[in-house]
Amino acid sequence: MNFTFVDEAYRIMHVTPNTYSGTIVYDLTCIFCNCKESIALLADGSFRRCMQCRKEFKTRILTKPILNYNQSIHHLKPKTDNN
């Protein structure tokens, strides 16, 4: 039987080092119960387990994207009536 490593199973392909300058910082707060204590399940800290409710979750990125990131992806956003 072939197993998939956790780091490979939850790899996030849309987050690249070119999008963020410096080290990517992730929010440690649980998205379910807002507890501020969680442990990293992946080496980069992007997938965590809450110490209070014990649920596993994908964290939010706190690092600001590079300056021209919003302009470079503007064409990918859905069109609205205001555009």
Show me where the domains of the chain are located.
Answer: 1-83
Q: What strands, in cross-sheet order, belong to the sheet with 38-40?
A: 38-40, 47-50, 56-58
pLDDT, mean over the chain: 78
Our CA angle for 20, 26, 30, nearest 5°, is 150
The C-alpha atoms of residue 21 and residue 25 are separated, in whole angstroms, by 11
Query: Chain-centre distance of CA 11, in angstroms?
Result: 10
Mean per-residue pLDDT, 70-75: 58
Taking the model in full, what pTM does it have?
A: 0.58
Closest by CA position to 16, among listed 66, 60, 58, 57: 66
pLDDT tens-digit series, residues 48-62? 999 999 999 999 888
Percent of the chain with pLDDT strictly greater than 90: 33
The C-alpha atoms of residue 69 and residue 31 are separated, in whole angstroms, by 25
Residue 66's pLDDT band (boundaries 50, 70, 90)? confident
